[in-house]
Amino acid sequence: MYTDNAYVFLFFIYGLAFFIMGVASLLQSNRYKSKFPLQAALPYLGGFGIIHGTTE
């Protein structure tokens, strides 16, 4: 059904989405201090997104 080129493109978009999410969450984690309780987890989410995005 799909060719090899389609899979490469699909995994590229998939990895790029995680990479962009990681960069965005790392940028937001240091931007300002907030009372939002999950803000402490943003650097971990950013690290995961960058690592997962580069391995795809």
Q: Sign of the C-alpha dihedral, residues 25, 27, 29, 33? A: negative
Q: Tell me which amino acid residue 46 is.
A: G
pLDDT digits (tens, 9 = 90+) for 17-54: 999 999 999 888 777 777 778 888 888 999 999 999 99
Listed residue (14, 40, 35) closest to 25, CA to CA: 40
CB 49 within 8 A of CB 25: yes
Model pTM score: 0.79
Q: What pLDDT score does 35 carry?
A: 77
Q: What pLDDT score does 1 carry?
A: 64
